[in-house]
């Protein structure tokens, strides 16, 4: 492992796998950021270019909260996400093992942000996060679209999300919500439901962050894209067959 510390407290880590990086730096109450290679990831990163003065794409498309190691020996995260496992779809706030992010092909960029929280603040984050898991708060694609609209019209960023709905939040809005419960505002001036992963990465709230980025080989990108297209096509055919059976 090689480490380089920049003046802004960013610590660049190289020479390690996603697994080694997360096992080293993931701790309860820290924030995780990821960037991936799917079309959705790229669309979010592209939309976040409106935040950058030079219109550079963001590296970040997802945000989550590290929960800590549990009795199964695995480190877990709390996040608002869309998870598809065969016929089971989890759409909203959920708990997942951090091993989800070990795939270096799907997750080419990772960051861990540490705000030096007190034990009671960490307890607040986890308590509020688990409350939303139990309440089955949903992932809001609608609000995500509202945020994309606000990114194109900066005057809307501080106003309520134009497509806001109750009991729902996408990933970075969820993380921001939890930190406001712990009395830390990560993006002052931006409405909670207009918060992006890039806003969290750029927060001026005092923190330390570890950053792992790597290039994804073009051959691997092509392979993953084919796999994604194949999976989507299979899912569409499955739904069509089911609907046809219901009509019969």
Residues 6+ apart with CB under 8 A from 115: 29, 30, 31, 179, 184, 205, 206, 207
Backbone φ, ψ for residue 224 (5° rounding): -70, -40
Q: Taking the mean position of all CA atoms in its chain, how far away is CA 206?
A: 20
CA neighbor of 200 nearest in space, from 224, 231, 174, 226: 174
Tokens, residue 15: 């020479």
| Segment holding 244, helix H or strand E | helix 218-247
Q: Is the pTM of this model over 0.75?
A: yes
CATH, domain 2-216, list 1.10.260.40, 3.10.129.10, 3.40.190.10, 3.90.1720.10: 3.90.1720.10
Print pLDDT tens along the chain (248 aa). Answer: 888 888 887 999 999 999 999 999 999 999 999 999 899 899 999 999 999 999 999 999 999 999 999 999 999 999 999 877 666 677 899 999 999 999 998 999 999 999 999 999 999 999 999 999 999 999 988 999 999 999 999 999 999 999 998 889 999 999 999 999 999 999 999 999 999 999 999 999 999 999 997 765 554 445 545 544 554 455 456 545 655 665 55
Q: CB pairs under 8 A, 24+ apart, for 12-16?
A: 12/211, 13/210, 13/211, 13/212, 14/212, 16/212
Give the Cα-Cα-Cα angle 84, 90, 95 (nearest 5 degrees). 110
**In angstroms, what is the C-alpha Rg of the chain?**
18
Q: How far is 138 from 122, CA to CA, in rounded Å?
A: 23
Confirm if 19 and 28 have CB atoms less than 8 A apart: no
pLDDT score, position 153: 95
Domain ranges of the chain: 2-216, 219-248
């Amino acid at each position: 492992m090689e480490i380089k510390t920049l003046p802004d407290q960013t610590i660049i880590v190289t020479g390690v796998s996603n697994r080694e990086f997360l096992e080293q730096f993931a701790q309860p109450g820290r924030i995780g950021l990821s960037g991936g290679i799917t079309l959705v990831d790229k669309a979010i990163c592209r939309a976040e270019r409106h935040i950058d003065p030079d219109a550079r794409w963001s590296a970040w498309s997802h945000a989550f909260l590290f929960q800590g190691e549990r009795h199964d020996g695995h480190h877990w995260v709390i996040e608002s996400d869309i998870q598809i496992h065969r016929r089971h779809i989890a759409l909203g706030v959920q708990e997942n093992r951090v091993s989800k992010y070990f795939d270096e092909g799907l997750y080419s960029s990772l960051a861990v942000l540490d705000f030096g929280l007190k034990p009671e603040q960490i307890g607040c984050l986890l308590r509020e996060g688990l409350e939303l898991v139990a309440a089955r708060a949903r992932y809001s694609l609608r609000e995500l679209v509202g945020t994309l609209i606000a990114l194109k019209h900066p005057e809307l960023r501080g106003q309520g999300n134009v497509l806001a709905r109750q009991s729902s939040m996408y990933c970075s809005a969820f993380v921001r919500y939890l930190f406001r419960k712990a009395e830390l505002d990560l993006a002052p001036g931006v409405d909670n439901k207009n918060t992006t992963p890039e806003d969290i990465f750029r927060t001026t709230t005092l923190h330390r962050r570890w950053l792992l980025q790597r290039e994804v080989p073009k051959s691997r990108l092509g392979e993953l894209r084919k796999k994604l297209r194949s999976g989507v096509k299979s899912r569409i055919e499955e739904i069509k067959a089911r609907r046809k059976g219901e009509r019969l």
